[in-house]
């Protein structure tokens, strides 16, 4: 698949520090590869500690002036960024598909989704109001003012290369913070393109800095930011082990943290559910990005009375899914991101089968074309899944639907909550009392009730337990980048 980007300006291929596009200090680069074939097609700087430090120097210097820019002016710049993202929607969509592998329609959909956060936070920038507090004694005035926290370090994952950048950088800029960013090594090109557009939108030099790094260098870059007391906040989306590492390593400088980590979402179909709606909701929630999202249902519990009917309807839908390269407009499921990912999916399916699960459809890797590495996985349904199987305990992050049968509401809630994770949960029911009972009982940050597509820029996205803390999107997403200064004026 050729990289047909009309606006080649979107491919700077370098770091952006203090308003200048530059190579890594030592000139090192690493390759970006096509998830479908594993073949390299671009290269970007492989940054080291020196580059990371330079980025913080720039962000720290720029913070002094950016924080004083009136909110409305910051909002105008962010809105211009949004306009430029939308004007380049096709190219950005192609870039996402090229480096991440999601079908082109989904790639373009992600750009629109990313832009919605930029637009939202451009608007929210002007609403970071404080409070006037009723004083307990005469002669005093008391206020709570909101201030930007300072330099923010953003570390992002590969599954939504544009949306993850937008959800972090737009609120940071809106709040008056400056940013140093390291995108995922699998998908650095989209983030560089977005930074290029931010530059064109008028984000001043030093306010937004980005350094790319290979997996080997990622920790060296992050360590500089974790140790530097000038970095006041880490915002991270990725795996729970890395999130915990960042939390531990930032303890010495007591940084504010937003951690959006792994999930293990349950999807429950009660006996009173609208089965057709439940099948549709599961298709939407499970197969977005080929199952590679942190809110994808990872465990599906279906009541025994409707189990066979549900599985049969779902099988028809899953067998109709078209797997293929992102460049083919017919594709609905693209390649998985890399060999590590597809091997994990296969390991989960093998483990389930060995422990007694039944493959209804799929259950194997695919090799479309000859000689290509098998980064494709057949959409799969497993039944008879037990809690001890790897696919029920760990995030599979692929197009696999593991189904268990249940008979009792209290028991299925216990099973749904029996995980260290707590990001999203979904359930289908038409009983209004059950809806609120189950909603209250689920230990997650997000609940989809009769709905499989829950993310929106106006909604607070985030988890509890091992899925992390902090919220992205909504007015709460802006608060993550601000602290409160209480002012008490006396002698009045
Ligand atoms: P995944 O397994 O999905 O790649 P990770 O949590 O490993 O999820 O990666 C998410 C982001 O965290 C990526 O940008 C990656 O480079 C970065 N990362 C990985 N390891 C570290 C580390 N030790 N310190 C800081 N960042 C890291």
Q: What is the pLDDT of residues 264-304, one digit of tens each?
A: 999 999 999 999 999 999 999 999 999 999 999 999 999 99
Burial class (CB in 10 A: 0-12, 13-18, 19+), 79: middle
Q: Ligand 1 pocket: which of 235, 238, 241, 289 to mutate (most atoms <8 Å of CB)?
A: 238
What is the dihedral sign for C-alpha 34, 37, 43, 45?
A: positive
- The number of the ligand 1 atom at minimal distance from the alpha carbon of 213 is 16
Cα 223 to Cα 378: distance, rounded to the nearest angstrom: 39
- The number of the ligand 1 atom at minimal distance from the alpha carbon of 237 is 10
Q: What is the pLDDT of residues 390-443, one digit of tens each?
A: 999 999 999 999 999 999 999 999 999 999 999 999 999 999 999 999 999 999
- The number of the ligand 1 atom at minimal distance from the alpha carbon of 159 is 3
Q: Give the chain's mean pLDDT.
A: 96
- Please tell me which residue in 99, 106, 119, 260 is annotated as part of the active site: 260
User: If you take atom 13 of ligand 1, which residue's CA is the nearest one?
Assistant: 184
pLDDT at 367: 76
pLDDT at 210: 98
DSSP 461: B
Compute the distance from residue 241 Cα to the ligand 1 centre, in Å: 9
pLDDT band at 146 (very low <50, low <70, confident <90, very high): very high
Tokens of 17: 């520090």
| CATH numbers and ranges of domains, the chain | 8-261+467-486 (3.40.605.10), 266-456 (3.40.309.10)
Phi and psi at residue 187, in whole multiples of 5°?
Answer: -135, 55
Contacts of residue 129, Cβ cutoff 8 Å, sequence gap at least 6:
146
- The number of the ligand 1 atom at minimal distance from the alpha carbon of 222 is 25
Compute the distance from residue 92 Cα to the ligand 1 centre, in Å: 23
pLDDT at 4: 76
Tokens of 392: 């029920």
Compute the distance from residue 314 Cα to the ligand 1 centre, in Å: 34
Contacts of residue 192, Cβ cutoff 8 Å, sequence gap at least 6:
11, 12, 13, 14, 16, 44, 183, 210, 212
**8 A C-beta contact, residue 18 and residue 209:** yes
pLDDT (mean) for 126-147: 96
Q: Ligand 1 pocket: which of 155, 243, 468 to mutate (most atoms <8 Å of CB)?
A: 155
The verdict on whether 260 is a catalytic residue reads yes
- The number of the ligand 1 atom at minimal distance from the alpha carbon of 239 is 6
- The number of the ligand 1 atom at minimal distance from the alpha carbon of 221 is 25
Return the bridge partners of 461, or none.
472
Compute the distance from residue 246 Cα to the ligand 1 centre, in Å: 10
User: If you take atom 25 of ligand 1, which residue's CA is the nearest one?
Assistant: 219
Compute the distance from residue 125 Cα to the ligand 1 centre, in Å: 29
Compute the distance from residue 218 Cα to the ligand 1 centre, in Å: 7
In terms of Cα–Cα distance, which of 286, 240, 233, 235 is closest to 263? 240
Compute the distance from residue 217 Cα to the ligand 1 centre, in Å: 10
Residue 2 has pLDDT above 80, yes or no: no
pLDDT band at 374 (very low <50, low <70, confident <90, very high): low
User: If you take atom 22 of ligand 1, which residue's CA is the nearest one?
Assistant: 219
Cα 391 to Cα 101: distance, rounded to the nearest angstrom: 23
Compute the distance from residue 254 Cα to the ligand 1 centre, in Å: 21
Compute the distance from residue 242 Cα to the ligand 1 centre, in Å: 6
Q: Residue 277 CB: number of other CB atoms within 10 A?
A: 15
**8 A C-beta contact, residue 248 and residue 223:** no
pLDDT at 486: 98
Q: How far apart are the first and last CA of the chain?
A: 71
Strands of the sheet containing 141-148, edge to edge, are 131-133, 141-148, 482-489
Tokens of 131: 């409070």
Residue 3 has pLDDT above 90, yes or no: no
**8 A C-beta contact, residue 265 and residue 281:** no
Q: What is the pLDDT of residues 334-371, one digit of tens each?
A: 999 999 999 999 999 999 999 999 999 999 999 765 45
Q: What is the pLDDT of residues 462-492, one digit of tens each?
A: 999 999 999 999 999 999 999 999 999 999 9
HSE-CB at 258 with a 13 A cutoff on CA atoms is: 30
pLDDT at 36: 84
Cα 280 to Cα 231: distance, rounded to the nearest angstrom: 44
Q: Ligand 1 pocket: which of 52, 154, 222, 242 to mutate (most atoms <8 Å of CB)?
A: 242
Cα 42 to Cα 146: distance, rounded to the nearest angstrom: 42
DSSP strands (E only) in 273-389: 297-303, 358-361, 365-366, 376-377, 380-383
User: If you take atom 14 of ligand 1, which residue's CA is the nearest one?
Assistant: 184
- The number of the ligand 1 atom at minimal distance from the alpha carbon of 184 is 14
Q: Ligand 1 pocket: which of 218, 343, 395 to mutate (most atoms <8 Å of CB)?
A: 218
**Any residues with Cβ below 6 Å from ligand 1, and which?**
155-157, 182, 184-185, 215, 218-219, 222, 238-239, 242, 245
The percent of residues above 90 in pLDDT, for the chain, comes to 95
pLDDT at 438: 98
pLDDT band at 327 (very low <50, low <70, confident <90, very high): confident
User: If you take atom 15 of ligand 1, which residue's CA is the nearest one?
Assistant: 184
């Amino acid at each position: 698949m050729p990289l047909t980007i009309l606006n080649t300006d979107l491919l700077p291929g370098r770091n952006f520090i203090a308003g200048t596009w530059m190579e890594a200090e030592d000139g090192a680069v690493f390759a970006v590869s096509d998830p479908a074939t594993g073949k390299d097609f671009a290269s970007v700087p492989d940054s080291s500690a020196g580059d990371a430090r330079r980025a913080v120097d720039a962000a720290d210097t720029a913070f002094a002036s950016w924080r004083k820019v009136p909110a409305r002016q910051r909002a105008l710049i962010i809105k211009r960024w949004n306009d430029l993202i939308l004007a380049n929607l096709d190219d950005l969509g192609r870039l996402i598909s090229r480096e991440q592998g999601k079908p082109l329609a989904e790639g373009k959909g992600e750009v629109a989704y990313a832009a919605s956060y930029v637009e939202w936070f451009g608007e929210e920038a002007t609403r970071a109001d404080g409070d006037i507090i009723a004083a307990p004694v005469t002669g005093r005035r008391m206020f709570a003012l909101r201030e930007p926290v300072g330099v923010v370090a953003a570390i992002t994952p590969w599954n939504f290369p544009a949306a993850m950048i937008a959800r972090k950088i737009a609120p940071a800029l809106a709040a008056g913070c400056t940013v140093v960013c390291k995108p995922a090594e699998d998908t650095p090109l989209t983030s560089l393109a977005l930074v290029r557009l931010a530059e064109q939108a008028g984000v001043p030099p030093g306010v937004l800095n980005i350094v790319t790094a290979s997996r080997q260098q990622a920790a060296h870059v992050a360590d500089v930011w974790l140790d530097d007391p000038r970095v006041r906040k880490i915002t991270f989306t990725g795996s729970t082990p890395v999130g915990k590492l960042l939390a531990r390593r930032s303890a010495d400088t007591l940084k504010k943290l937003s951690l959006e980590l792994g999930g293990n979402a349950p999807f429950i179909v009660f006996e009173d559910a609208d089965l057709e709606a439940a099948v549709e909701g599961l298709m939407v929630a499970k197969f977005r990005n080929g199952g590679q999202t942190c809110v994808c249902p990872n465990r599906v519990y279906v009541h025994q009375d409707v189990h066979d009917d549900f599985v049969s309807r779902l099988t028809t839908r899953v067998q109709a899914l078209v797997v293929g390269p992102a460049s083919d407009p017919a594709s609905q499921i693209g390649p998985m991101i890399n060999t590590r990912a597809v091997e994990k999916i296969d390991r989960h399916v093998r483990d389930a089968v060995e422990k007694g699960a039944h493959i209804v459809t799929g259950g194997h890797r695919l090799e479309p074309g000859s000689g290509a590495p098998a980064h494709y996985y057949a959409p799969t349904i497993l039944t008879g899944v037990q809690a001890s199987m790897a696919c029920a305990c760990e995030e599979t992050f692929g197009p696999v639907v593991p189904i268990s049968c249940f008979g009792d509401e209290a028991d299925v809630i216990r099973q749904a909550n029996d995980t260290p994770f707590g990001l999203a949960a979904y359930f289908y029911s038409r009983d209004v009392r059950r809806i609120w009972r189950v909603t209250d009982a689920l230990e997650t940050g997000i609940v989809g009730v009769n709905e499989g597509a829950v993310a929106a820029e106006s909604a607070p996205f985030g988890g509890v337990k091992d899925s992390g803390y902090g919220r992205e999107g909504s007015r709460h997403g802006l608060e993550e980048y601000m602290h409160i200064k209480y002012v008490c004026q006396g002698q009045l």
